[in-house]
Structure 1
Amino acid sequence: MSANLIGLLMEATWQTLYMVAVSAVLGAAFGLPLGVFLATSQRGELLSRPLVNRVLGLVVNAARSVPFIILVVAIIPFTRMIAGTSIGTTAAIVPLTIAAVPFIARLIENAIREVDSGLIEAARAMGATPLQIIRKVLIPEALPSITLGLTLAAVSLIGYSAMVGAVGGEGLGDLGIRYGYQRFMPDVMAVVVIILIVLVQLVQSIGEWIAAKVDKRAPKGRGQ
């Protein structure tokens, strides 16, 4: 493999990391509060807003039901309005973020719902407000599950980032298509696949390590 191709692989890897990192942060910024609201806004819950809950739930389900490759094409005008272009790394962040938000929201909702309801009742009995319960009980207790959920979202975004290469996005997917497929260079395709696998394993391992660190229920070692 030539030095030029090695340089292209390094650049494509950086582009993929940039797309995934930015879209994951933006997706979490919007998806986390949305997921918390969905988990606490049904009738009789902390932030009881059943009508708003149902409407948001329908929107989230609709967004999640659209295949990603179709979503990328369907929102090209919106992507062009936000990023100024519909191709390239920065443009790819728009559909990646839109795909990440409902996915993360559902993961956060499930994580919050796993918290023991007895803890909520105990906090209520002590006079805590709904926001205090969310901030000091629900989120801390659900933090390990939230961390694993965000890790799953980041892993999914790595796969999505490869798909945008088929529609003008940059990164490893674009390199694999242009060189590995269109120019019949199977060695490039193999290296791209290997790098993607390594990235997924690395993100998954880091996420699991962080989740174990923040899990208060995890058994401590002897002598600690």
Structure 2
Amino acid sequence: MTPQMTDRLIQAFLDTLFMVGMSAGIAVLAGIPLAVFLVTSERGGIFPAPRLNRIVGTVVNGFRAVPFIVLLVALIPFTRLVAGTTIGVWAAIVPLAVSATPFFARIAEVSLREIDPGLIEAAQSIGCKRWHIIRHVLLPEALPGIIGGFTITVVSMIGASAMAGAVGAGGLGDVAIRYGYQRFDTVVMAVVIAILITLVCTVQYAGDTVARRLRAR
């Protein structure tokens, strides 16, 4: 590879890290409260609101049902409104975050539901307020599962960020399409694939390690 191509790959790698990192941060900030709401607002929950729970759950399922490439195109007007553009790294963050948030919320919801109901009943019996139960019982007990779910979400987002390169979002996917596929450069394609595999393996290993240490406490 030429030095110019090496520089492009380095910049594309950094762009991918930025896209995924920003989108993952948004997914955590929005997904955890959404998961807590879905668990606590169901019938018999500590903040029962079953009708609203069904509405929010339907919306979440609707976004999860749409393939990312379709969502990417459908959100173009919203992306332009938020980011001021429909191409580049910042434009990719919007659909990535919108796609990842409901996905992560459902995974975090599963972790929250696995908590022993006896712990919640014990906290209620000693007079804990409902917000204290969420903060000191639900979230700490579900944290290892949430970390594991977050790892799965980030891995999925890495693949989605590469897919976004097909529509000019930048990053490794853009390099693979423009220089690997369209110019029939198998070396560039192989290098991009190797980088993506390494990145996914690193994220998975880090997430598994953190989750395992939390469970061991």
TM-score (normalised: structure 2)? 0.98
1:115 aligns with 2:92: no
Deviation at 1:214, TM superposition (A): 1.8
For 1:81, the aligned partner's letter is L
Unaligned runs of 5+ in 1: none
Map residues 131-146 of structure 1 onto 2, 5 A cutoff: 131-146=131-146
Deviation at 1:168, TM superposition (A): 1.3
Unaligned runs of 5+ in 2: none
For 2:184, the aligned partner's letter is F
For residues 70 and 85 of structure 1, the distance between their equivalents in structure 2, rounded to whole angstroms, comes to 18
Map residues 59-78 of structure 1 onto 2, 5 A cutoff: 59-78=59-78
1:47 paired residue number: 47
For 1:171, the aligned partner's letter is G
Deviation at 1:213, TM superposition (A): 2.0
| Deviating 4+ runs (over 3 angstroms) | none
Map residues 27-176 of structure 1 onto 2, 5 A cutoff: 27-176=27-176
For residues 207 and 142 of structure 2, the distance between their equivalents in structure 1, rounded to whole angstroms, comes to 15
Report percent identity of matched pairs: 54
Deviation at 1:41, TM superposition (A): 0.9
For residues 121 and 77 of structure 1, the distance between their equivalents in structure 2, rounded to whole angstroms, comes to 47
Deviation at 1:39, TM superposition (A): 1.2
For residues 53 and 139 of structure 1, the distance between their equivalents in structure 2, rounded to whole angstroms, comes to 19
For residues 41 and 186 of structure 1, the distance between their equivalents in structure 2, rounded to whole angstroms, comes to 52
> Which secondary structure does the structure 1 equivalent of 2:85 belong to?
coil
For residues 5 and 108 of structure 1, the distance between their equivalents in structure 2, rounded to whole angstroms, comes to 40
2:25 paired residue number: 25
> Which secondary structure does the structure 2 equivalent of 1:90 belong to?
helix
1:11 paired residue number: 11
TM-score (normalised: structure 1)? 0.95
Residue-by-residue CA offset, 1:98-157 (whole Å, 9 max, x unaligned): 001100110111010000111011111111111111100011001100000111101100
> Which secondary structure does the structure 2 equivalent of 1:184 belong to?
coil
1:192 paired residue number: 192
